[in-house]
Chain A
Amino acid sequence: MQTENAKDIIVCEGVKKWFGDFQALKGVTTTVKEQEVVVVIGPSGSGKSTLIRCINRLEAHQEGKIVVDGIELTNDLRNIEKIRSEVGMVFQQFNLFPHLTVLDNITLAPLWVRKNPRDEAEQSGMELLERVGIPEQAHKYPGQLSGGQQQRVAIARALAMKPKVMLFDEPTSALDPEMIKEVLDVMKELALSGMTMIVVTHEMGFAREVADRVLFFDYGTVVEDGTPEHFFTNPQHDRTKLFLSQIL
């Protein structure tokens, strides 16, 4: 999926983050190129979610530098809003807006953040719902959908902003096993279409099949960084070997 000489879209340099006295990120340095699919793996509490939440400033990092699409993340509110509208995010708990219909969930941000006309927003909203396979649910409320359907709506909602990067924060962890596949299929299709993606997940099959790169996180830093083959067959670090032996 990734082409040679693609430009860097996300650059992290020595990113550090504390929650109170607890240090969640201990100087993370990594780069994501355009159209690259990066899967982030690691035990819970290793800081992997914190990193992607820092990338669209849901958490503010305290030291180091994060540059998204050429804009550095600082406290400047205008930059943050700009970056957030270029970076789509999918949450573990879906976080759909329960008081709006599925279609309204998807069109809200295009209407008011992008300021697209209503008919245009609704048309592309319906196209996105077809893309994730549930156009018939457009006028239902999120509470009436299954978990898998809700997560697909959440993906469509993020895509509606035509983002340059998509962040997935454990998108299948809150789903019943039989619904995981339908969400992963949508994500696979998205990866094949050339979207830049950073996916925090425990789905090793997805990592092996779709990822261009796997980052292994522990103790708030990147322990291992390489292709899926390298990661699964020839890990360098002892910590990685231990982790893999526990889950495989």
Chain B
Amino acid sequence: MADKSKIVLPDIEELAPEPPPKGPVVWAKDNLFYSVASTILTFVGLLIAVLFVRGMFGFILSPDRKWDAVTTNFRLLMVQAYPQEATWRIWVALGSIFGLLGLSLAFWRAGGKMEPRKLSQVATAAGGFLMFVVLVAPFTTTARIVVVVLALVLIGVGVGIVRMLGERAKEATIPVLLLFAIAAGLVIAALWVLQVPVPNPEAGAGESQLQGIAATTSGPWTIIYLVTLAAYFLGIVLRRVIPERPGRLVLMALWALAFPVIVLHLARGVEFQNVGQYLLIGGGFAVIGSAIIWYLADPVRGELGRGLAGLLLVLAIAAWMVSALILIRLLLLLIAMFALGGPTFAGGARQTRLRYIGVWIGAVVITVYFMLLATGVSIVQTSNETVFGGFFLTWILAIAGIALSFPLGVVLALGRTSTMPIFRLLSTLYIEVIRGVPLITWLLVSVVVFPIFFPLDVLFVAPVKVTLFIAFFSAAYLAENVRGGLQAISKGQTEAANALGMTTLQRTIFITLPQALRAVIPALVGQVIAIFKDTSLVAIVGLFDLLKIARDIIPTQTQPFNFLGSLRESLLAAAVIYWIFTFIFSRVSLRLEEKLGVGTR
């Protein structure tokens, strides 16, 4: 063996880092053409892309297409028969949602900073894609020039950013929210500026006139845009005045209330009935209930408190067997719930008990308000008994279905993993029965069979029944997803919570569920997207949702324009509308995963 002391140490200077090989040629070689097979696959893939883009744009740009069937009927697609003079209600609803969004963005300090490099990549890629499209798609010469110019501008911006900033392009400096605001502003501006040909009923068939692409909606959208901006800045000011935690709690409560209030009150246009009677009952329950809960939640009561609360629950359930106002039955059930939860959440300090009573009174107010809404009469007159239709109906069904199915799904998942055999059996039975039958069947059951078993049916219009069954159906799937999350939680978590003296309820709410739900966010978002799209099945029971209108209404119109045979156009439009929103859901879910650190633990 050679003498080890003879080894010559390398000169440190010569070991200075060399730049790694990079550049487009290297990238292409490493990623596209690194072997014969990969080269073939690259070209096959390219060929498929060319054929697809060419076919798609050939279809869209063909002179035979009746795209005016979609543009003329856009209102129909969105809200169906909702009367023109009541449309302000929907705009007010949208405005309040966006206002709430602005406030929330400020209060949650949403939106980080983005690297200019990333922006440059997006712009260059978009420009490149446009170039590709213009090469293979059958555009007219003018359109070609416009698209080429647009593509060059995008590529120029993309390359320019990196050239100008150099190394600084890697620092995250661009506020994402500002980017969104600018993009939304550009869209709004386009609503005012861009013009499209729209058929003119006076000029006869084939004649058309130029009109702004959103003649009737550019005004409201502009106002909503400004409201959102104003709400955001208001939120930033308020954030300094109001402490963060209560502020966020109030906003969360507003979000929870937003949907039912908008749908049941604003969009339906309710005239309340029996207001005096309901207020009297509500007031009575608020006072008596406060006294009962105050008494039972006192830690001095001990086991007696839980015993009496259990008795109340039996009474409340018995009230559903006899005939009584639904409001009274609901409030009795609510008292029992609050009394049962009392020792867990409010026993102890006087202050906590007072706050608990406050929550109780709030719950009574909300219950009375909702019962007034449910029993009120709609003043919005439509040709359609359900008032709602089109994409608006799609959203209502989806949001209500999701909102109802989440708690139900979580309860079922807890039941299925419970240590008590009876809960486990019931949950498993429910899940297996519901999952074993197609959703369409359940929807038919909701309108055909359900009324036979449920005499209170007169209270429910078709959308309510359908929503309930969509919720029942998706709860079964949600339960299975959540169960996966629950089973992934280590035994140590339960033991640690137990060792701290937490009750089963506290452990579930604070420890098990938050972790389980976080672990299954991708599956939950998948379920949300599934519900959103599955709402299109309600056409089977005669509701006019987006897809039903696109498929059955628009292609059969002959007056005032002849849109016969425009089925493919309206279906494609509906598909694009669905896609835009499901794509947003999946992006939001990715952000949520990042933020809650799934997989990084």
Question: Which of A's residues lie within 8 Å of B, judged by CB?
Answer: 56, 58, 78, 81-82, 84-89, 91, 93, 95-99, 108-109, 112-117, 141, 143, 157-158, 161
Contacts and interface: CB of A to CB of B under 8 A. Distances in A.
Contacts of B496: 89, 91, 95-97
B303 interface: yes
Nearest to A88: B499
B177 interface: no
B499 A56 contact: yes
Given A99-B515, A143-B601, A78 B500 contact: no
A98 B510 contact: no
Interface stretch (B343-351, B415-423, B541-549): B343-351
A82 B600 CA distance: 36
B514 A109 contact: no
A40 B497 CA distance: 24
26 contacts: A58-B498, A81-B501, A81-B502, A81-B503, A84-B500, A85-B501, A89-B496, A91-B499, A95-B493, A95-B495, A97-B493, A99-B515, A99-B518, A108-B510, A109-B501, A112-B345, A113-B500, A114-B348, A115-B346, A115-B348, A115-B352, A117-B349, A117-B352, A143-B601, A158-B499, A161-B501
Interface in B345-403: 345-349, 351-352
Contact of A89 (B347, B490, B493, B499): B499
Contacts of B493: 95, 97
Interface in B485-512: 490, 492-493, 495-503, 506, 510-511
Contacts of A109: 500-502
Given A56-B498, A82-B501, A143-B601, 10 more contacts: A58-B498, A78-B303, A81-B502, A86-B501, A93-B490, A95-B493, A97-B493, A109-B500, A112-B510, A113-B501
A99 B345 CA distance: 21
B498 A84 contact: yes
A70 to B, nearest CB: 17
Contacts of B495: 58, 91, 95
A108 B500 contact: yes
A84 B499 contact: yes
Contacts of A157: 500
B133 to A, nearest CB: 45
Interface of B: 302-303, 345-349, 351-352, 490, 492-493, 495-503, 506, 510-511, 514-515, 518, 597, 600-601
A9 to B, nearest CB: 17
Nearest to A81: B501
A117 B503 contact: no
A154 to B, nearest CB: 8
A108 B303 CA distance: 24
A114 B502 CA distance: 10
A161 B351 CA distance: 20
Nearest to B503: A81
Contacts of A78: 302-303
Nearest to A167: B499
Contacts of A93: 490, 492
A217 to B, nearest CB: 21
B515 A84 contact: no
Contacts of A143: 597, 600-601
Given A58-B495, A91-B492, A97-B511, A115 B349 contact: yes
B597 to A, nearest CB: 8
A184 to B, nearest CB: 21
B492 A115 contact: no
Contacts of A87: 499
Given A82-B501, A98-B601, A115 B514 contact: no
A85 B348 contact: no
A98 B515 contact: yes
A76 to B, nearest CB: 10
User: Chain A CB within 10 Å — which of B493, B497, B499, B502 has the most?
Assistant: B499
A97 B302 CA distance: 30
A241 to B, nearest CB: 35
A112 B347 CA distance: 10
A78 to B, nearest CB: 7
A111 to B, nearest CB: 9
Contacts of B502: 81, 109, 112-113
Contacts of A112: 345, 502, 506, 510
Given A97-B493, A99-B515, A115-B349, A58 B500 contact: no
Contacts of B511: 97
Contacts of B601: 98, 143
B506 A113 contact: yes
B504 to A, nearest CB: 9
Nearest to B500: A109
A200 B317 CA distance: 50
A96 B601 CA distance: 12
A97 to B, nearest CB: 6
A201 B600 CA distance: 31
Given A99-B514, A114-B348, A115-B348, A58 B499 contact: yes
Contacts of B303: 78
Nearest to A92: B492
Contacts of B490: 93, 95
Contacts of A99: 514-515, 518
A127 to B, nearest CB: 18
A100 B308 CA distance: 35
A108 B503 CA distance: 13
Nearest to B515: A99
Contact of B347 (A58, A95, A115, A141): A115
B369 to A, nearest CB: 30
A78 B304 CA distance: 12
B393 to A, nearest CB: 37
Contacts of A84: 498-501
B351 A117 contact: yes
The 3 A-B pairs with the shortest beta carbon distances in the complex, nearest first, are A115-B348, A85-B501, A95-B496
A196 B185 CA distance: 67
Contacts of A97: 493, 496-497, 510-511, 515
A99 B490 CA distance: 13
Nearest to B517: A99
Contacts of A89: 496, 499
Contacts of A115: 346-349, 352
Contacts of B302: 78
Contacts of B500: 84-85, 108-109, 113, 157-158, 161
A139 B490 CA distance: 23
A179 to B, nearest CB: 19
Contacts of A58: 495, 498-499
Nearest to B353: A115
Nearest to B505: A112
Nearest to B504: A77
A230 B350 CA distance: 53
Nearest to A85: B501
A201 to B, nearest CB: 18
Contacts of A86: 501
Contacts of A56: 498-499
User: Chain B CB within 10 Å — which of A87, A93, A109, A143 has the most?
Assistant: A109
Contacts of B351: 117
Contacts of B352: 115, 117
Contacts of B349: 115-117
User: Chain B CB within 10 Å — which of A85, A93, A95, A157 has the most?
Assistant: A95
A235 to B, nearest CB: 32
